[in-house]
């Protein structure tokens, strides 16, 4: 994880989806639906900006997370 990087982005990169969503909701004071939208925006950006930092391949990211 990069020094000075955003802790939420670091959670997303590490595939810690639920903690990332909780942190987004806390930071933004938003609904779960808005948090999921923000998560998706950040995920897409991070896949482009930091592809080598991800610990889970695209095909497996999010497996085992059910809503």
Asked if 45 and 31 touch (Cβ cutoff 8 Å), the reply is: no
The model's confidence at residue 64, banded by pLDDT at 50, 70 and 90, is confident
- Higher-confidence residue of 5 and 16: namely 16
Please state the domain extents for the chain: 7-51
CB neighbour class for 54 (10 Å; exposed up to 12, middle 13-18, buried from 19):
middle
The model's confidence at residue 12, banded by pLDDT at 50, 70 and 90, is very high
CB neighbour class for 52 (10 Å; exposed up to 12, middle 13-18, buried from 19):
exposed
pLDDT score, position 9: 97
pTM: 0.87
């Amino acid at each position: 994880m990069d020094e000075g990087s955003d802790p939420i982005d670091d959670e997303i990169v590490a595939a810690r989806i639920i903690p990332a969503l909780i942190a987004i909701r806390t930071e933004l004071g938003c609904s779960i639906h808005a948090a999921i939208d923000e998560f998706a925006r950040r995920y897409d950006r991070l896949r482009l900006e930091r592809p080598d930092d991800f610990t889970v391949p695209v095909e497996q990211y999010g497996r085992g997370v059910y809503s």
